[in-house]
């Protein structure tokens, strides 16, 4: 069965991964991961919504054991071709069917980058946190990179274009239809406090903005996507990486750790 993201797979690297904005935001995520002791020892890592495999390859380069999954068979096909010489276990998996997943070992880190969890409703995310307890190791971590409700770039950009409906589209608790290469994808937006309310059994370790000044990828073709401008905006992101500003960024990084009593 075709998935909403199958059509985006062939051009995903061109439109995001390999762009100056995509690279800058991904490096911001890696900077946060690298301050969380992921380089201290070899970890069992489960990646959800792996897309075309860039993050799986990064983890593999650090000698971690990586199982990388995506609901889109086409995304997995691209990842397999890109990294066919790497020891990465790629396969198709629907997050909502995670209860059917029986790994040989429990995972030390479960990771999902760039809004994969925005394709899940509040109830589906609650179910995820319930299900995942059985496959995560003692004191294992979950790192999610999520799109919040109050992204300043989006409000400014669409307000200047005179489209107030789009400028405020993320504020709703209901799903909206986001355009992914011409396909309408149901999308929900969550601020950090929303995730904390639906993740019982886990404690927050870190919350950081990703792309507070570096803009959303749909601005890549503007002057804001120029390499020099992105480098400057990236410096500002480093200077103003306060947790309190996470809900205003394009994405935010939230790191949760399993409680000892679970």
Residue 208 lies in a domain: yes
Residue 165 lies in a domain: no
Q: Which domain holds residue 236?
A: 9-148+190-258
- Give the CATH number, domain containing residue 83: 3.40.50.150
How large a percentage of the chain has pLDDT more than 90? 85
For 64-110, how does the pLDDT look when each residue is reduced to its tens digit (9 = 90+)? Answer: 999 999 999 999 999 999 999 999 999 999 999 999 988 889 999 99
Contact 209, 31 (CB under 8 A): no
Residue 184's pLDDT band, with cuts at 50, 70 and 90, is confident
Residue 128 lies in a domain: yes
**Residue 1: pLDDT over 60:** no
> Strands 202-210 and 183-187, how do they pair?
unpaired
Residue 156 lies in a domain: no
The CA distance from 48 to 58, in Å, is 14
How many folded domains does the chain comprise?
1
For 59-68, how does the pLDDT look when each residue is reduced to its tens digit (9 = 90+)? Answer: 999 999 999 9
Closest CA relative to residue 146, chosen from 192, 110, 184: 192
Phi, psi angle pair for 252, to nearest 5° = -140, 155
Q: What pLDDT is attached to residue 54?
A: 98
Residue 240 lies in a domain: yes
Q: What pLDDT is attached to residue 230?
A: 98
Q: Rounded to an integer, what is the distance from CA 48 to the centroid of its chain?
A: 9
**Residue 37: pLDDT over 80:** no
Q: Would you give the DSSP letter of residue 31?
A: H
For residue 125, the SS3 value is: helix
For residue 46, the SS3 value is: strand
Residue 170 lies in a domain: no
Q: Would you give the DSSP letter of residue 113?
A: -
The CA distance from 148 to 150, in Å, is 6
Residue 167 lies in a domain: no
Residue 125 lies in a domain: yes
């Amino acid at each position: 069965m075709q998935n909403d993201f199958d059509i985006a797979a062939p051009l995903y690297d061109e439109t995001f991964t390999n762009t100056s904005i995509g690279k800058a935001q991904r490096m911001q995520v890696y900077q946060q991961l690298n301050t969380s002791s992921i380089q201290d020892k070899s970890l069992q890592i489960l990646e959800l919504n792996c897309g075309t495999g860039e993050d799986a390859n990064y983890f593999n380069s650090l000698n971690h054991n990586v199982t990388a999954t995506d609901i889109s068979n086409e995304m997995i096909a691209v990842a397999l071709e890109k990294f066919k010489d790497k020891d990465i276990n790629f396969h198709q998996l629907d997050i909502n069917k995670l209860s059917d997943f029986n790994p040989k070992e429990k995972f030390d880190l479960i990771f999902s980058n760039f809004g994969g969890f925005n394709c899940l409703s509040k109830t589906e995310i609650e179910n995820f946190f319930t299900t995942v307890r059985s496959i995560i190791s003692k004191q294992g971590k979950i790192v999610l990179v999520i799109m919040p409700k109050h992204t300043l770039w989006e409000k400014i950009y669409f307000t200047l274009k005179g489209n107030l409906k789009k400028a405020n589209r993320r504020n709703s608790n209901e799903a909206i239809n986001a355009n992914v290469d011409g396909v309408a994808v149901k999308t929900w937006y969550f601020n950090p406090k929303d995730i904390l309310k639906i993740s019982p059994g886990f404690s927050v370790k870190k919350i950081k903005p990703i792309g507070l000044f570096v803009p959303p990828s749909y601005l890549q073709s503007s002057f804001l996507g120029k390499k020099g401008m992105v480098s400057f905006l990236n410096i500002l992101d480093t200077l103003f990486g306060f947790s309190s500003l996470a809900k205003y960024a394009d994405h935010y990084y939230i790191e949760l750790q399993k409680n000892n009593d679970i």
